[in-house]
């Protein structure tokens, strides 16, 4: 049986780290992209994972990671890097610095990462998963809490949809996933589910989806989410 290969952008902690753990246990070749490999101490202890320098806010860093992983067609690309931004409870426009940081990380970063690795995924007739949030669902939005984060996730949902339109006809399957409210540094201690359970669910979704699901938006349990 041919060993499968996955690259995870944003694997130093939380959901990305758990993806790396679980795919390594399953025997996949795992490339784990992180901004500063030397600081990813927990990831470095995971057997079977090759840690790559990959800063999604740097075009040069993304190009370097793409060159390093070029020898292996990717069966799966997971774009997991994300920034929460300022805590807001009402409609409050962010400052320039916060806006630039969140949008560069959550929107421009995924654009560049998907573009850099798309041909590798297409070559393997593989899959691309953008880890977004139900907070990016326009039809499901009832309030304005975390306005900037919501706006960035709505934007990256469009990035994923356009990538599906572009690369689906060429053999890739692109989906957007909501991991649930997860107990991570970003999700906080009051979140509803553990990272392990979220990733088990999303791995199941990624195993099941195919060409007919290209461009889909799914909860970690496989339930479709309205845009």
**For 187-208, what is each residue's pLDDT tens digit?**
667 767 999 999 999 999 999 9
Phi-psi category of residue 86: left, alpha or beta, with phi > 0 → left and psi -120 to 50 → alpha: beta
Cα separation of 110 and 27, whole Å?
26
Query: Above pLDDT 70, what percent of the chain?
Result: 96
Cα separation of 143 and 48, whole Å?
43
**pLDDT of the residue at 189:** 73
- Global pTM value: 0.95
**pLDDT of the residue at 149:** 95
Q: What is the pLDDT of residues 120-142, one digit of tens each?
A: 999 999 999 999 999 999 998 88
193 strand-pairing partners: 182
Question: Of 154, 135, 137, 153, nearest to 145 (Cα)?
Answer: 135
Q: What is the pLDDT of residues 89-124, one digit of tens each?
A: 999 999 999 999 999 999 999 999 999 999 999 999
Residue 2 — pLDDT band, cuts 50, 70, 90?
A: confident
Cα separation of 156 and 112, whole Å?
12
The 10 Å Cβ neighbour count of residue 97 is 9
């Amino acid at each position: 049986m041919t060993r499968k290969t996955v690259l995870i952008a944003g694997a130093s902690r939380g959901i990305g780290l758990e993806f790396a753990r679980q795919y390594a246990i399953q025997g996949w070749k795992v490339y784990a992209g992180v901004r500063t490999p030397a600081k990813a101490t927990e990831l470095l202890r995971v057997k079977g994972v090759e840690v790559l320098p990959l800063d999604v806010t740097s075009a040069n860093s993304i190009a370097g990671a793409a060159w390093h992983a070029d020898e292996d067609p990717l069966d799966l690309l997971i774009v997991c890097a994300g920034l929460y931004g300022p805590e807001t409870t009402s409609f409050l426009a962010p400052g320039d610095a916060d806006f630039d940081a969140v949008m560069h990380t959550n929107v421009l970063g995924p654009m560049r990462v998907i573009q850099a690795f798309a041909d590798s995924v297409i070559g393997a007739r593989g899959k691309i998963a953008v880890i977004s949030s139900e907070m990016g669902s326009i039809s499901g939005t009832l309030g304005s809490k975390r306005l900037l984060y919501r706006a960035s996730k709505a934007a990256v949902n469009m990035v994923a949809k356009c990538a599906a339109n572009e690369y689906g006809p060429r053999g890739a399957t692109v989906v957007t996933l909501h991991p649930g409210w997860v107990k991570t540094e970003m999700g906080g201690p009051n979140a509803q589910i553990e990272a392990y359970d979220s990733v088990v669910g999303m791995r199941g979704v990624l195993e099941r989806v195919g060409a007919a699901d290209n461009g889909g938006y799914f909860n970690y349990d496989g339930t479709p989410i309205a845009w």
